[in-house]
Structure 1
Amino acid sequence: MITPKFSCSQTDESVIASIYCPSVRATDVEIDVDDAVLTVHINPYFLRLSFPYSVVEDDKSSAQYDPSSGYLTITLTKSVKGQHFPDLDLLAKLLAPRPSRSHTRPSIEVLESRHTLADDIADISKRTDALSLDDEFAQAARNGWQLSQAIPDPASEFRTSSKRYYGFLDAFTGYFTHATHTENEINELGDDAEACNAEERRTRRIAHENEKWDEEHYMADYAEDEYIQELINWHNPDLTYAAELVITEDEKMAMLRLPRKEYIMDSFQEHNLYLTLITLMYAHAYDKRTTLNDPTAESAWTICNLVAPFSALDPPPYSPVELSGVALDFTDAELTSTLVTSYRRSLTFPLYRSFQLAERCRQDVAAAFRRGKRLITKYLLELKDILDHHDVYYVYSKIWVEDFCVWIQAGASDAVLVRIGEKLDALRVPKSAIGWDLGELEEATRFAVDRDSDSDDESVE
């Protein structure tokens, strides 16, 4: 079956679905409405849309097919007149399958039992008599079982498979088996990309950043920053709250090509997805600002280098996370550690290396998050398009960006995105957290520039 091109709109009383299905017979169309789900089948097209609220077929509903344009227009009545249906332009959310029913514990029926209550009591008594406590446990029992405990070593985790997983929700493996035989310049794990565990990936990533860090490059960009200041002062029209966010036809087609997936995750995994999203949006903000919103042939390389989950398969959290009683609460410490990794990479790999530029990118990310998932969706689709057109780096679109494009529409929360954006806007990343004595290097650069200036003045005299 083919998923047709479609769009949805609404009035105070109705929801209108406009479906492009040329060269079909209107008499063959099958339309079914079940609460909030609209199903349309007209060979060879099939479409199932899940609306946020229920709709009904009544006397005011209609279905009209225009053979000249090829569009089937279905008008359904809202169950609650005047109710606003959000996100009708986020097509992946409309196409997402309905959430699975919560799993219930299976009931158990005892068919036969040959044990009596007296037998059970005797067995328990026998087992209790067989128990013995050594001195340590006896002492612990007297002290309220205050046993010494230690955090288990993650490296010692028992594994039943030699495979290592990575990517969105750790759902992928085998994509880098022959990485060294490709022109993957940003792969920091080499032949071991499929063998490294999470701890080894992080260790190698940090070592690679320290190795590639170039003090002279940083000082040169700090001393002569005229062009960097132009990049910093560039105005991104998307981040203006008055700007209208319109999903283009190309973006709608890109949404239709996304896979139909349902994600099952716990609160910890969901928490980490939002942190990973920050690293993706930071890389996008850097490339968008340094190319003045005109991606180049180097954009894919730049973006992949700036995203540690790509180059080292090392996603956040980069500091210990303690989930509080408030769902999806983000502390300044974990947001700072996430940004520090992005800052370090933006000061190490791309052409323009400036802490002030890094701060400007943080502000861009904060503004994008505050605008919600519509703008984030547009930016993720831009990232996907850049990576999909690269001969090698398309793999990162497959294992990360594609699923983010689906999840951000159907699973992410605007309220959470706005809250993260507000926190990122108020956050200040200290230079000392980067680990490369940036303050001292900048002071030394200013001293050298002032000394050269004084020398030039004396020579003129």
Structure 2
Amino acid sequence: MITPRFSCSQNDRSVIVSAYCPAVRASEIEIHVDDTLFSLHVAPYFLRLNFPASVLEDDQSSAVYEPVSGYLTLTLTKLNRGETFPDLDLLAKLLAPPAQSTPRNATIEVLDSQDDSGHTITSHPDDTERNEILDAAANAWTIPQTVPDPLPALETSRQKPYGFLNAYTGYFLHVGTMENEINELGVDAETLSPSERRIRRLRHEESKWDPEHYMADFADNEQIEELLAWTHPHLGTSSATPSGVVFTEAENAAMLRLPRKEYLASPQETHNLYLTLLTFLFAYAYDTRTTQHDPTPESAWTIAALTPAFSALDPPPYSPQGVRGGDFDFDSAAPHELAETLIPSYRRAIAFPLYRSWVLADACRADVAQFLLRGTRTVLRCLLELRAILDAHEVYYVYSRIWLDDFCRWIQACAREDTLIRLGDVVSHLSISKGSIGWDLVLLEHTVQTAKEGQPDSDDEDVESQRPSLL
């Protein structure tokens, strides 16, 4: 079945769905409304939407099909007149199935049963433990104890998963014959464990670090100052609040092409996805700031090289974690964890691309914070632009398939706006020290400044050359 292009709007009493279904028979259109669920079927098109509140199909509802334009316009009555339906422009969120009532990894517990005579036998979770204690009391309180042996990880394949929620394998089987310049794992990309990928990433960053390049950009920073003065068009408004983004036709079409998936991420996985989002937005911020929002043929390389989840298949977290709870566990996530998440992005920003400047990297962090403060729609627009840049590359499109396709859908259907805004506030106040990078940036900058102060001024040199010699 084909999902038609569609859009949703609303007024005080109705929700209006406009679906493009060319060359169909109006008599074959089937419409079904059940509480928040709406479905449309007319061969070969099928559309199912899950609205944020209840709708009705009553006498006030209507369906009008225009054969010339191919558009079917359906008007559905709101159960509660005057209620505002949020996020009608987030198409992937509307396409998402209703949330499952059964939690992930749910267990079944038998509370009571009956014996052969029909008597009810009540079972309590602590019965086994209580019986063990009674047996121990009858045997001089000797409870058998053993140290359990850790079970080895069950591996049925040499391939190690990667990508969004570690759901992908097989995308780098033939990487040795492809011109993937940013792949830092080589032909072992499919088989390296997460810890081995991290070792490879760190080793590659060290090999690419060039102190002289960094010192040169620090000494001659006129071009970088121009980049710092530029303002991203998505951040043109002065108010750091969720913006009223209106998606273009191209962006709506891109959203409709996203995979139709439901994500059952654990609290730990959800927490890590928000951390990974920071690294994606950082790479996007660097490229847009250095190209002034006009992507170049090098943009795909720059983005992929600055993103550890792409170049080394090594997403956050980059520090040990405890058990997480909730959408994003701000109580457990100290600012140092967010700093450690962005440190690899800083390292790569001063080791790989053309402009290697600490102040430029820090400006990108500030951009990330502002994107987040403007909420879901601005973040989604950034990710869609990031995805479009990679999709246009004949090799790096693979990173859209294993990361950004799912991420763009997850942002719409699962990420919470208040979480993004709060995360943006924390990142805006984040302070990352130069010493945490692992390279002696302070010494290098001091060396450049000392050299500048020791050079005589050009006018002084001219005067000195005009003085007569005493010899």
TM-score (structure 1 length as normaliser): 0.89
Identity, in percent, stands at 53
Q: Deviations over 1:377-415 (max 9, x none)?
A: 111111111111111111111111110011000000000
Shift of 1:283: 0.4
The answer to whether the Cα contact below 8 Å between 1:268 and 1:323 also exists between their aligned partners in 2 is yes
Q: Match of 1:4, as an amino acid?
A: P
Shift of residue 331 of structure 1? 1.9
Q: Secondary structure at the match of 2:9?
A: strand
| Kept after mapping to 1: 8 A contact 2:267/2:325 | no
Matched, 1:54 2:50: no
User: How many residue pairs align between the two structures?
Assistant: 441
Deviations 1:72-95 (A, max 9, x none): 111111111111111111111111
Alpha carbons of structure 1 residues 123 and 449: separation in structure 2 relative to 1, 3 Å: closer
The amino acid that maps onto 1:61 is: S
Residue of structure 2 equivalent to 1:444: 447
Distance 1:453 1:19 in 2: 72
Shift of the alpha carbon at 1:129?
A: 4.7
Query: In structure 2, what is the Cα distance between the partners aligned to 1:286 and 1:204?
Result: 23
Structure 1 stretches of 5 or more lacking a match? 139-146
Q: 2:155 aligns to what? A: 160
Query: What does 1:36-435 align with in structure 2 at a 5 Å threshold?
Result: 36-102=36-102, 105-106=107-108, 125=135, 129=139, 158-161=153-156, 162-241=158-237, 244-323=244-323, 328=328, 329=330, 330-435=333-438
Write the distance in 1 (CA, Å) between the matches of 2:459 and 2:179.
48
Q: Is the alpha carbon distance of 1:122 and 1:458 closer, same or farther for their aligned partners in structure 2, counting shifts above 3 Å?
A: closer
> Which residue of structure 2 aligns with residue 142 of structure 1?
none
Match for 1:401: what amino acid? L
Which amino acid counterpart does residue 214 of structure 1 have in structure 2?
D
8 Å Cα contact 2:160/2:169 also seen in 1: yes
Q: 8 Å contact 1:97–1:260 — kept in the other structure?
A: no
Distance of aligned partners of 1:313 and 1:127 in 2 relative to their CA distance in 1, 3 Å threshold = farther
Give 1:158's aligned amino acid. A
Q: Post-superposition shift, 1:320?
A: 2.1
The separation in 1 between residues aligned to 2:393 and 2:152, in whole angstroms, is 37
CA distance in 1, matches of 2:325, 2:2: 45
By percentage of residues, which structure has more helix?
A: 1
**Structure 2 CA distance for partners of 1:127 and 1:41, relative to 1, 3 Å:** farther
**Structure 2 unmatched runs, 5+:** 122-127, 465-471
> Which stretch shifts more, 445-454 or 28-37?
445-454
- Say which SS state the counterpart of residue 47 (structure 1) adopts: strand
Q: CA deviation at 1:107?
A: 6.5
CA distance in 2, matches of 1:50, 1:271: 25
Cα pair distance change 1:338/1:123, threshold 3 Å: closer
Q: For 2:192, what is the secondary structure of its paired residue? A: coil
Partner Cα separation in structure 1 for residue 389 and residue 19 of structure 2? 29
Q: Is the 8 A contact 1:320 1:334 kept in 2?
A: no
TM-score, normalised with respect to structure 2? 0.87
Query: CA contact under 8 A between 2:217 and 2:355: conserved in structure 1?
Result: yes
Which residue number in structure 2 is paired with residue 143 of structure 1?
A: none
Q: CA deviation at 1:122?
A: 11
CA distance in 1, matches of 2:59, 2:132: 73
Give me the whole-angstrom Cα distance separating, in 2, the residues matched to 1:265 and 1:341.
Answer: 25
**CA-to-partner distance for each residue in 1:176-230, whole Å, 9 max, x for gaps?**
1221211111111112211211111111111111111000000101111111111
Cα-to-partner distance string for 1:1-21 (whole Å, 9 max, x where unaligned): 111111000111111001111
Aligned-pair CA distance for 1:372: 0.8
How many Å separate the matches in 2 of 1:371 and 1:228? 26
SS at match of 2:199: helix
Secondary structure of the residue that 1:194 maps to in structure 2?
coil
Q: Report the RMSD for the aligned CA atoms in angstroms.
A: 2.8
